[in-house]
Chain A
């Protein structure tokens, strides 16, 4: 009776679901939304923001807000594609 969880890590949005019996059930986040933006941010107070809150402050903190990071997974930090973006 092991539990099963599935995570769809999307470029712009992510979604998490669990198996309930034979059916998959999508979980909601704290704001009640079924998808969460794939965005993280680090604020000046060393606070970590994930999802909607991170997206909302992107205008004021563009350097430390990271989005569409899926495109960079598997690349080295020195890679040209990574350097171009950060």
Chain B
């Protein structure tokens, strides 16, 4: 036990003697190396600052251009609801063919056109989908409908209109896409098998 204690105390004393040595090592760093090290740090800091400046610039531009993005997306519901109002009025049996209905529909059309022109002024454009090929960057396929006359993958029905804001997609158009009909021969074979 005594030996162990002695050895420990010796180690401690060794540690104390070592400390000044390490300090000496630190002091031995050449001034040239120190300058190189500092120059490297300075260059990296400057580069990082430049990157940060560019990033802030881009963020600022994005904030200007797309600041109203979520507001614009939510306001699209107004146009959808106007269209729904028109449809429900048109299908109402009680007021069908009345002058009041015609006038109301005309006025609703004016409001809708006005809304769309405001959107256009703010670089929000409708996506024209019908009869075009499905483009997943603009359209969202909701269902497939068998159609012999149209090439497979062509949009044959638009369920909800889509809009773009500048080069970004504000809301995809919800569409139905044509699909090759399953061969009638196969179907008849299946029936025979059954």
Give the B-binding residues of A (Cβ under 8 A).
1, 20, 30-32, 41, 49, 53-54, 56-60
B141 touches which of A1, A20, A57 (Cβ 8 Å) = A57
Q: Are A56 and B48 in contact (CB under 8 A)?
A: no
Number of residues in B with C-beta < 8 Å to the partner? 22
Inter-chain contacts of B45 with A (CB < 8 A): 1
Give me 6 other A-B pairs in contact (C-beta within 8 A), A31-B168, A57-B134 excluded. Answer: A1-B44, A32-B62, A32-B66, A32-B168, A56-B136, A60-B144
Tell me the interface secondary structure of chain A in the complex: loop
Inter-chain contacts of A32 with B (CB < 8 A): 62, 66, 69, 168
B177 touches which of A41, A53, A60 (Cβ 8 Å) = A60
A54 touches which of B44, B136, B177 (Cβ 8 Å) = B136
Given A31-B168, A32-B66, A32-B69, residue A60 in contact with residue B44 (CB < 8 A) = no
In this assembly, does B137 line the interface, its C-beta being within 8 Å of a C-beta of chain A? yes
In angstroms, how far is the closest chain A Cβ from the Cβ of B177?
A: 5
Q: Are A53 and B141 in contact (CB under 8 A)?
A: no
Inter-chain contacts of B143 with A (CB < 8 A): 59
Q: Are B134 and A60 in contact (CB under 8 A)?
A: yes
Give the complex CA separation of A30 and B169 in angstroms: 10
Q: Which 3 A-B pairs have the closest CB atoms?
A: A53-B136, A57-B136, A56-B140
In angstroms, how far is the closest chain A Cβ from the Cβ of B112?
A: 27
In angstroms, how far is the closest chain B Cβ from the Cβ of A67?
A: 14
Inter-chain contacts of B139 with A (CB < 8 A): 56
Give the complex CA separation of A50 and B78 in angstroms: 31
Inter-chain contacts of B144 with A (CB < 8 A): 59-60
Q: List 30 A-B contacts (CB under 8 A).
A: A1-B44, A1-B45, A1-B48, A20-B52, A31-B168, A31-B169, A32-B62, A32-B66, A32-B69, A32-B168, A41-B136, A53-B136, A53-B137, A54-B136, A56-B136, A56-B139, A56-B140, A56-B172, A57-B134, A57-B136, A57-B141, A59-B141, A59-B143, A59-B144, A60-B134, A60-B141, A60-B144, A60-B153, A60-B177, A60-B179
